Structure 1
């Protein structure tokens, strides 16, 4: 005899939506913690392992302090801590919004084709930034956090 109780084979929450929930939760929780605690004055966040080992700045040094300043509405101070991070944030924000739209509507926002040479160029820019911010001479010293 066939059961009148049918079990659906489709998940209640799709994997993409679950991924979106996890990503959004991590971003939200991280933003709340980063807004609440200033990385420059508290020991809540770990220090940079690269800076601890070498005494030099990495490409990401100053990002936490910069994000804290952005969350507080201080774009100038954020740019002073890590200009490259501030310049790349709009692309990360667009990526998140695009993913959100795709998860909830099934349609994606415009995804420009990025030529592999451009990706390599971005890598070279990050490496150059990493090197230049450690030169203790103006104007390169302006890149240090």
Structure 2
């Protein structure tokens, strides 16, 4: 391994360390109960009472760390669907740094930004509809 490649991998290694630290904080906090130390509430929910598209992400992460996929789906199903795209992007970024060239991902597709915005907006509306079966999406 060359020194250039090792230097290029410092930032990806840093993201892994930050992710592990975040996992440790979430595990210690236990956001699904009052047993752990308190984490700050979602500012959108705190100010408006509505679930934002990201609401439930911390509890989802906690559930996934415990292998409880069904609870994770309850907390934020849309975010579960996004995880493979996030991993694809992160993996392509790491591989690109290793190889010294840009690796294409879904983010470069022409329609990706608009599709992403539409999906986020639809999810934000659906999870706040005040009638069944959508009330089951409240967190």
Superposition TM-score tier, normalisation by shorter sequence: 0.7 to 0.9
Equivalent position of 2:24 in the other structure: 32
What is the CA–CA distance in structure 1 between the aligned matches of 2:76 and 2:105, rounded to whole Å? Answer: 27
Conserved 8 A contact 1:82-1:144 = no
Q: Does 1:84 align with 2:51?
A: no
Q: Normalization by structure 2: what TM-score? A: 0.82
Name the one with the larger helix percent.
Answer: 2
Q: Mind listing any 5+ residue stretches in structure 2 that lack a counterpart?
A: none
Instruction: Please give the root-mean-square deviation of Cα atoms over the aligned residues, in Å.
Output: 2.4
- The total of aligned residue pairs comes to 135
What is the CA–CA distance in structure 2 between the aligned matches of 1:103 and 1:12, rounded to whole Å? Answer: 8
> Which shifted more, 29-38 or 60-69?
29-38
Equivalent position of 2:40 in the other structure: 46
Q: Mind listing any 5+ residue stretches in structure 1 that lack a counterpart?
A: 1-9
SS in 2 for 1:123: helix
The structure that has the greater radius of gyration is 1
Structure 1 residues 20-58: Cα deviation after superposition (integer angstroms, max 9, x where no partner): 132121111111222333112234321111111111111
Conserved 8 A contact 2:5-2:98 = no
What is the CA–CA distance in structure 1 between the aligned matches of 2:28 and 2:97, rounded to whole Å? Answer: 30
